[in-house]
Amino acid sequence: MTGLLHKIASGAGGTVRITGQIAAWTGLALVILVALNVLFRYFFSFGSVALQEGEWHLMAVGALFGMSYGLNQGGEVRVDIFYAQMPRGMQAFIDLVSNLALGAIAVIVGWLSLSYVQSSYAISEGSPDPGGLPYRYLLKAAIPAAFALLALQAVAMTAESLTRLIARITRRKGAI
């Protein structure tokens, strides 16, 4: 059983890791785009609404896909005043419950955002600003995709927590 859980955790975590590494390149693209906007504005007196909107589009994609990658890499902020004092078995149980809750919330948010994307697609929503970017529904489609990836990371973390919990229980039974 733990072997299967380890495979699930590795597969799900690996998918999130690869997707996060790809999405991390949006940071470089964002820096380049901001630099170009500044150069164009100050040296050539040229400004573009589409380029400015591109900045927040890249920021949104980086943040949305970065949340699951941050969890994957252990970059989350934890307040463990009480958690650190608990026995390892209790920590594994708390991790299991919180990872299940994270997965449920990610699935709910992803599911609820589908109608938001669909309505945007139905009207071919674009920027309300003249010269802005068209196809805003493509950016909105990143919401359910990112939350699906977050749910996948929750599956990986749940499998890891369950593996730790099973190992603790097995060791206890062996000691009795």
**What digits encode the pLDDT tens for the residues 81-138?**
888 888 888 888 988 999 999 999 999 999 999 999 999 999 989 988 888 889 999 9
| Contact between residue 98 and residue 175 where contact means Cβ atoms under 8 Å apart | no
In angstroms, the Cα distances linking 84 to 80, 87, 92, 164 are 5, 8, 12, 16
| Contact between residue 46 and residue 105 where contact means Cβ atoms under 8 Å apart | no
State the residue for tokens 């609404």.
49
User: What is the spatial distance between Cα 19 and Cα 30, in angstroms, rounded to a whole number?
Assistant: 18
**What digits encode the pLDDT tens for the residues 36-53?**
999 998 998 888 888 899
Q: Residue 81, class by beta-carbon neighbours within 10 Å (0-12 exposed, 13-18 middle, 19+ buried)?
A: exposed
**What digits encode the pLDDT tens for the residues 60-81?**
999 999 999 988 888 777 777 8
Rounded to the nearest 10 degrees, what angle do helices 2-23 and 25-44 cross at? 10
What's the domain count of the chain?
Answer: 1
Q: Which domain holds residue 76?
A: 2-175
User: What is the spatial distance between Cα 157 and Cα 76, in angstroms, rounded to a whole number?
Assistant: 13
Predicted model pTM: 0.85
